Amino acid sequence: MTDYYSTADEIAESGCETAILPAGSTEQHGPHLPVCADTLLAAAIGERLAEKISAVLLPAIPYSTCREHMGKKGSVWMNADTFYRMMWDICESLEYQGYKRVILVQGHGGIFVMTPFIRDFNAKHGKIKIIRPEDNMRPYDWSGILESPPLHSCEMETSLMLYLSEKSVRKL
């Protein structure tokens, strides 16, 4: 696996044609989880995925669109068109570098502009395919595993954070 701790030569020598880009958010996560939860989870999933398929892991994007959480201090958001343009530039640079596909690991469900971005980019750039694992997870039957449905700051998110960073979960 190569990642952002690799040198440019190591990344070139790896011959990897797939880049993994985690996208998180900095936003309130209730009284028990830190504001970095979505970014940390997206980065962790991206890291494991990169190991499994020998892809190049990019740094997780810590900001996206979370205006719905603006009432709570600690949330930081950007406008949807800014996020769209930023993603466009990142993916165009990856295409220029010779990557054949980008896998987006979306840690924050509220990045609604991601769907039109993926459609537009894939329609105009035949080379890069953007895949979003979250779409494959949604129809999964969580009954028997979770007592409550997956939502913001939910049982699933809290369980994953306990696994990845127990000290950051407040025991209320």
- d(CA 18, CA 7) in angstroms, rounded, equals 17
- The pair of three-digit structure tokens given for residue 168, joined into one six-digit string: 């950051």
In the complex with Zn ion, the residue whose CB is nearer, 76 or 128, is 76
Q: Which of 22, 14, 97 is nearest to 6 (CA)?
A: 14
126: Cβ contacts below 8 Å, ≥ 6 apart: none
90: Cβ contacts below 8 Å, ≥ 6 apart: 21
Cβ 72 to Zn ion shortest distance, Å: 13
Q: Which of residues 108-127 bind Zn ion (CB under 5 A)?
A: none
Contact flag: residue 24 with Zn ion (CB under 5 A): no
In the complex with Zn ion, the residue whose CB is nearer, 37 or 94, is 37
In contact, 41 and 164? CB cutoff 8 Å: yes
Cβ neighbours of 107 (radius 10 Å) = 26
Binding segment for Zn ion (CB under 5 A), chosen from 13-21, 32-40, 62-70, 89-97, is: 32-40
Contact flag: residue 38 with Zn ion (CB under 5 A): yes
In the complex with Zn ion, the residue whose CB is nearer, 38 or 95, is 38
User: Which residue's C-beta sits nearest to Zn ion?
Assistant: 38
- d(CA 132, CA 30) in angstroms, rounded, equals 26
In the complex with Zn ion, the residue whose CB is nearer, 33 or 113, is 33
Cβ 38 to Zn ion shortest distance, Å: 4
End-to-end, the C-alpha distance of the chain in Å comes to: 38
Binding segment for Zn ion (CB under 5 A), chosen from 31-39, 64-72, 90-98, 120-128, is: 31-39
Cβ 75 to Zn ion shortest distance, Å: 11
Residue 60 per-residue DSSP state: P
Cβ 73 to Zn ion shortest distance, Å: 17
In the complex with Zn ion, the residue whose CB is nearer, 92 or 155, is 155
Task: Please give the residue ranges that form the binding site for Zn ion (CB under 5 A).
Answer: 37-38
